[in-house]
């Protein structure tokens, strides 16, 4: 959203720690004997050298909705790619072994499905099973006009499916297979601690090709990317990778070096010179939050702070143009002219970075805002609300 919109900082999906074991919507595959459980050694954190400040560089590209084509579903959209929070300058330390790609693919491929969509036209996409009862992730743009869905498993079995719900702001949808399980599932990971330069493996069903899934290998090229489409949808905090993502792979899996799911592939970008190796994925942390809301309350609850603003003159905060009279910020004591510097421990310098700082929050969560009023520094505890 553009600066000046009253909700452009906070109308995005949030993140909440999964419920306790007795009532979780899903189980971690390690609890179910997942074939990758022994392979996955959770990283503590990758050493990341972050570029000082935002680069301000803007790259104009054509974003292709990677839904694939059976008849005609090519959907190029002009986008702007800009840095959001974390820049693509980083180093990866340690002597981690090379990923066992073959083993990872053998374990994960059964959870990858090809989606055949009948809507305004016929098209294909990909999906990733995340619950053994047949729930899967895909992209919202893949199924947004679907009247009929058929999922083709890695075994070649075709199963009817239906849309549970979708969220255009994150480009995530949840689909349910119309058959009894159990079905194989992907192993959940997280983008917390993920570093630029870390290995990335993409698995999907590109170009409506029959047979097994296609696998490409690359690295995490950047984190915190922001995509603006001509259609008005803005995607935040995206993972950029050079692992090739082709038409039809949209909705597929992006995996880390341990074979854990870190993203749902969404799009690739091309310039006048061609593809350029730019692929993007929605972080799995956001996808899980969207799925949790869709499966528990039937819609996605977007958090709301209730402010508008612009970057401060010193580039180190957000000057508030307006504070909604009934919004959480107002209740926390903020007013027009205040300069927000941090959300909890995360610095914010633009409305975009303020929004990203709230991405993983949930309505009802408490955050601490560090802000300046004139020459005096203050803190305020704010309880985030659901977007009206």
pLDDT per position as a tens digit, 12-40: 333 334 444 344 454 444 444 565 655 55
Q: Is 171 annotated in the active site?
A: yes
pLDDT-derived band at 80 (thresholds 50, 70, 90) equals very low
Tell me whether the omega of the peptide bond preceding residue 93 falls within 30 degrees of 0, making it cis.
no
- In the DSSP assignment, the letter for residue 294 is H
pLDDT-derived band at 115 (thresholds 50, 70, 90) equals very high
Mean pLDDT of 39-61: 35
Report the share of the chain in percent with pLDDT over 90: 48
Residue of higher predicted confidence among 12 and 134? 134
Mean pLDDT of 367-376: 96
Q: Is 141 annotated in the active site?
A: yes
What whole-number distance in Å separates Cα of residue 163 and Cα of residue 174?
Answer: 6
Report the share of the chain in percent with pLDDT over 70: 69
What whole-number distance in Å separates Cα of residue 219 and Cα of residue 197?
Answer: 5
How many of the other CB atoms lie within 10 Å of CB of 98? 7
Does the CA dihedral 167-173-174-178 come out positive or negative? positive
What whole-number distance in Å separates Cα of residue 13 and Cα of residue 125?
Answer: 23
pLDDT at 153 over 90: yes
Q: Which fold has domain 34-298?
A: Thrombin, subunit H (2.40.10)
What whole-number distance in Å separates Cα of residue 32 and Cα of residue 130?
Answer: 13
The architecture in CATH of the region 303-386 reads: Roll (2.30)
Look at residue 7 in the predicted model and tell me its pLDDT: 36
Q: What is the pTM of this model?
A: 0.72
| Annotated catalytic residue within 34, 135, 141, 362 | 141
Residue pLDDT, tens place only, 239-249: 999 998 877 78
Mean pLDDT of 128-136: 96
Look at residue 2 in the predicted model and tell me its pLDDT: 40
pLDDT at 283 over 50: yes
Closest CA to 187 of 267, 124, 103, 115: 103
Question: 182-205 burial, b if ≥16 CB within 10 A, otherwise e?
Answer: ebbbbbbbbbeebbbebbbbbbbb
Ranked by mean pLDDT, the top range of 21-25, 60-64, 229-233, 295-299 is 295-299
For the chain, which residues make up each domain, given as ranges?
34-298, 303-386
Residue pLDDT, tens place only, 312-346: 999 899 999 999 999 999 999 999 999 999 999 99
pLDDT at 116 over 80: yes
Question: 345-360 burial, b if ≥16 CB within 10 A, otherwise e?
Answer: eeebbbbbbbbbbbbb
Look at residue 43 in the predicted model and tell me its pLDDT: 40
Look at residue 48 in the predicted model and tell me its pLDDT: 27
| Annotated catalytic residue within 205, 250, 289, 352 | 250
How confident is the prediction for the chain on average, in pLDDT?
A: 77
Angle at 334 between CA 329 and CA 339, to 5 degrees: 110
Look at residue 207 in the predicted model and tell me its pLDDT: 59
Tokens of 262: 């870190």
Residue of higher predicted confidence among 325 and 59? 325
pLDDT-derived band at 229 (thresholds 50, 70, 90) equals low
Residue pLDDT, tens place only, 207-217: 555 656 889 99
Closest CA to 30 of 21, 40, 20, 22: 40
What whole-number distance in Å separates Cα of residue 221 and Cα of residue 92?
Answer: 12
pLDDT-derived band at 231 (thresholds 50, 70, 90) equals low
| Annotated catalytic residue within 11, 167, 171, 256 | 171
* CB 67 within 8 Å of CB 123: yes
Q: Which residues pair with 194 in a beta bridge?
A: none
Mean pLDDT of 187-192: 90
């Amino acid at each position: 959203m553009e600066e000046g919109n009253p909700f452009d900082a906070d109308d995005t999906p949030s993140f909440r720690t999964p419920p306790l074991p007795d009532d979780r919507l899903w189980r971690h595959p390690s609890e179910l004997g997942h074939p990758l459980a022994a392979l996955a050694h959770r990283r503590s954190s990758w050493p990341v050298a972050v570029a000082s400040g935002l680069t301000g560089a803007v790259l104009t590209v054509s974003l292709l909705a990677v839904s694939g084509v059976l008849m005609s579903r090519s959907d190029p959209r002009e986008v702007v790619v800009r840095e959001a929070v974390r820049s693509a300058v980083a180093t990866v330390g340690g002597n981690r072994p090379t990923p066992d790609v073959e083993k990872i693919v053998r374990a994960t491929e059964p959870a990858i499905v090809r989606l055949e969509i009948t809507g305004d036209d016929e098209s294909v996409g990909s999906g990733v099973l995340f619950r053994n009862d047949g729930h899967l992730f895909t992209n919202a743009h893949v199924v947004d006009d679907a009247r009929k869905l058929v999922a083709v498993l890695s075994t070649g079995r075709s199963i009817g499916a239906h849309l549970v719900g979708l969220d255009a702001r994150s480009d995530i949808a949840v689909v349910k297979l119309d058959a009894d399980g159990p079905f194989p599932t992907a192993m959940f990971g997280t983008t917390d601690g993920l570093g630029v330069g870390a290995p990335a493996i993409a698995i999907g069903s590109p170009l409506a090709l029959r047979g097994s899934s296609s696998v490409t290998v690359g690295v995490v090229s950047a984190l915190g990317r922001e995509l603006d489409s001509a259609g008005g949808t803005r995607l935040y905090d995206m993972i950029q990778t050079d692992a090739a993502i082709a038409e039809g792979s949209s909705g597929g899996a992006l995996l880390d070096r341990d074979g854990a799911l870190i993203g749902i592939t969404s799009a690739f970008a091309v310039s006048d010179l061609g593809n350029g190796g730019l692929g993007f994925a929605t972080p799995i942390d956001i996808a899980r939050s969207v799925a949790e809301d869709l499966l528990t309350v039937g819609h996605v609850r977007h958090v709301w702070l209730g402010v508008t603003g612009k970057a401060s003159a010193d580039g180190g905060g957000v000057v508030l143009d307006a504070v909604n009279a009934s919004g959480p910020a107002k209740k926390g004591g903020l007013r027009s002219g205040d300069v927000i510097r941090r959300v909890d421990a995360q610095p914010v310098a633009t409305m975009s970075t303020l929004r990203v700082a709230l991405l993983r929050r949930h309505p009802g969560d408490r955050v601490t805002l560090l802000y300046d009023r004139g020459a005096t520094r203050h803190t305020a505890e704010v309880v985030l609300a659901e977007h009206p």
